[in-house]
Amino acid sequence: MKYFKNEECNIFIDSITDIHTLDSKLLIVAGDSWTNNAYLNENDGWAYKIGKKGNYDYVFNLSTDAGSNSEIYLSLLNFLTNTTNVHHTVINDCTIKEFFKSENIDIIITWSTPIRDKGEMSILYRPYKCATIPDIADKDNLNTKIFRKYYENWFREEHHSYKTQLYTLFLQEYCKHNNLNINFSMAFTCLVEDSFKDTKWDLRKDIVEDNFYGLYGYPGCLQDYLISKTDSNFKEEAPIVEMQHLDNTYKKNNKFYDIFNRLKPYKEKFERRFNKIEGESIEKIFTSDGHPGKKGTELISELYYNFLKK
């Protein structure tokens, strides 16, 4: 099995001249740090493990640390069309099929949190914290002021969730048109929060449920799935939005603060659960900062491998 990451993926595609790759089995994955697992040895990442379990000839990992969903979306389209300017792409441009048979291609998209933005309006503040999580000390900086005003007055989480659903639908239809097998999941947040269920912001009825792990119900993301493997009673506390950002220091009544702390009755329980499940080393299900450890990536690889076999 040959395993490629980030820029290596397109470099390899550009270099293909052997028509025999058409019969090769290919896995493509895209996501953020929950997918690239760069803090682990390469063979401990879940994408590498699936490659071995599924006897893939090639695994292409397009993920990057702190990747936003718009970046994840574009990284896949750029790779499938072998272009760096997807805006000039039409739906029939799927050049990957020139090198691999469509029936031999499997794709897994693991979306990041929808509020991790890389849109036009985020350019001013995003350089200060690549993960787009508030952690800015310079209160007098103009970018910081705009950042705070955005989250306190203008930010709408339903807008970002809606965009991620649109990315899912566009890729779903694009891959259907090109006879490509694509599957989705969320990394550490749900796709649609309960407060937006069955509203105009909820497009899940148009998403193929069999191709999206955790689309409805529990677990709604890989994080919840891993926690459920540690404690089967976690379900009652699952509505907390993001485990990694439980201790948010922003002032109360701040829009961003409310996102991570809205379910006050759960917080004390969740703090205990968080401390209980956090790994003491990368050998555990979770690392100290809440990413999948070695046992966690093994569980994810088993989950996805069985999902692909269905």
Domain boundaries, given as residue ranges, for the chain: 2-127+157-233+294-309
Contact 119, 44 (CB under 8 A): no
**Does residue 268 surpass a pLDDT of 80?**
no
pLDDT above 70 coverage of the chain, percent: 69
Contact 86, 77 (CB under 8 A): yes
Please tell me the CATH code under which domain 2-127+157-233+294-309 is placed: 3.40.50
In 3-state terms, what secondary structure has residue 141?
coil
Look at the chain and count its residues.
310
Q: What is the mean pLDDT of residues 191-215?
A: 93
Q: What is the mean pLDDT of residues 59-70?
A: 92
User: E strands within 112-180?
Assistant: none
Spell out the residues 6+ positions from residue 83 whose beta carbon is closer than 8 angstroms to its own. 89, 93, 95
pLDDT at position 158: 86
pLDDT at position 57: 95
**Does residue 297 surpass a pLDDT of 80?**
yes
More reliable by pLDDT, 158 or 145: 158
Q: Pick from 6, 1, 136: which is nearest to 75 by CA?
A: 6
Preceding peptide of 292 cis, ω within 30° = no
User: Where does residue 24 rank: exposed (0-12), middle (13-18), buried (19+ CB within 10 A)?
Assistant: middle
For 81, the token pair is 């069309």
Spell out the residues 6+ positions from residue 19 whose beta carbon is closer than 8 angstroms to its own. none
Chain Cα centroid distance, residue 88: 25
User: Where does residue 32 rank: exposed (0-12), middle (13-18), buried (19+ CB within 10 A)?
Assistant: buried
Rounded to 10°, the helix 69-81/7-15 angle is 10
pLDDT at position 105: 96
Q: Rounded to an integer, what distance in angstroms lies between the CA atom of residue 92 and that of residue 77?
A: 12
Q: What is the mean pLDDT of the chain?
A: 79
> Which residue reads 């990747």 in tokens?
67
pLDDT above 90 coverage of the chain, percent: 42
Predicted model pTM = 0.83
**Does residue 280 surpass a pLDDT of 50?**
no
Contact 62, 29 (CB under 8 A): yes
Q: Rounded to an integer, what distance in angstroms lies between the CA atom of residue 20 and that of residue 30?
A: 25
- Measured in degrees and rounded to the nearest 5, phi and psi for residue 282 equal -70, -5
Q: What is the mean pLDDT of residues 205-214?
A: 96
More reliable by pLDDT, 109 or 240: 109
For 122, the token pair is 């985020």
Question: Which of 28-32, 229-233, 249-253, 280-284 shows the lowest mean pLDDT across its residues?
Answer: 249-253
